[in-house]
Chains A and B, each alone.
Chain A
Amino acid sequence: MSSRWTDPLERFGRFWILSAEIADRGLLRPMRGQFPRLSEIIRSVDRMGVGSIPIVVLICSFVGMILAMQTAYQLSKFGATLYVASLVSVSVVRELGPLITAILVSGRVGAGVAAELGTMAVSEEITALRTMALNPVKILLVPRVIGLVISLPILTLIGDAVAILGGLLIGWVYLHLPPALFYKVAVEGLVMKDVLTGFAKSVIFAILIGLIACYKGYSVRGGAVGVGTATTETVVVSIVAIILADLLFTALFYFAI
Chain B
Amino acid sequence: MNIQVEGIEQRYADRPILRGVTFHVRKGETLVIMGGSGCGKSTLLRILSGIERPVAGRVLFDGEDIVSLSEAGLDAFRKRWGFCFQGGALFGSQTVGENIAYPIREHTELGETVIDIMVKMKLDMVGLTGFGDLHPSQISGGMAKRVALARAMALDPEVLFMDEPSAGLDPVMSAAIDQLILDLTKKTRITTILVTHEMKSAFTVADRMILLHEGRVVTEGTPDEIRRTTDPLVRQFVDGMADGPIPLRRNRDEYLKSLTHAPSISSPSRKDMED
Contacts and interface: CB of A to CB of B under 8 A. Distances in A.
B89 A132 contact: no
Contacts, number: 44
A130 interface: yes
A131 B47 CA distance: 12
Contacts of B107: 132-133
A120 B90 CA distance: 9
B103 interface: yes
A132 B92 contact: no
Contact of A134 (B74, B81, B106, B161): B106
Contact of A131 (B76, B78, B87, B90): B78
Given A131-B51, A132-B106, A124 B79 contact: no
A125 B136 CA distance: 12
A133 B78 contact: yes
B78 A132 contact: yes
Given A132-B78, A133-B75, A124 B89 contact: yes
Interface residues of A, number: 12
Contacts of A125: 89-92
A131 B82 CA distance: 7
A58 interface: no
B237 interface: no
A127 B106 contact: no
A128 B85 contact: yes
A245 B185 CA distance: 57
B102 A131 contact: no
A43 to B, nearest CB: 10
A123 B89 contact: yes
Given A123-B89, A125-B91, A131 B83 contact: yes
B49 interface: yes
Interface string A131-153: 11110000000000000000000
Nearest to B103: A132
Contacts of A124: 85, 87, 89
A123 B144 CA distance: 13
A25 to B, nearest CB: 13
A39 B50 CA distance: 30
A134 B90 CA distance: 15
B92 A123 contact: yes
Interface string B76-113: 10110101010101111000000000110011000000
B92 A131 contact: no
A123 B88 CA distance: 8
Contacts of B106: 132, 134
Interface in B180-200: none
Contacts of B49: 131
Contacts of B91: 120, 125, 128
A7 B102 CA distance: 37
A6 to B, nearest CB: 13
A127 B85 contact: yes
A10 B75 CA distance: 27
Interface in B87-146: 87, 89-92, 102-103, 106-107
Contacts of A120: 91-92
A134 B71 CA distance: 10
Contacts of A127: 51, 85, 89
Nearest to A119: B92
Contacts of B92: 119-120, 123, 125
Nearest to B80: A133
B51 A130 contact: yes
B29 to A, nearest CB: 21
A132 B152 CA distance: 8
A120 B94 CA distance: 12
A133 B106 CA distance: 9
Contacts of B78: 130-133
Contacts of A131: 49-51, 78, 81, 83, 161
Interface of B: 49-51, 74-76, 78-79, 81, 83, 85, 87, 89-92, 102-103, 106-107, 161
Closest 3 CB pairs of A and B: A133-B78, A131-B83, A133-B75
Given A120-B91, A123-B87, 7 more contacts: A123-B89, A125-B91, A127-B89, A128-B89, A130-B78, A131-B49, A132-B107
Interface of A: 119-120, 123-125, 127-128, 130-134
13 contacts: A120-B92, A123-B89, A127-B85, A127-B89, A128-B91, A131-B50, A132-B103, A132-B106, A132-B107, A133-B74, A133-B78, A133-B79, A134-B103
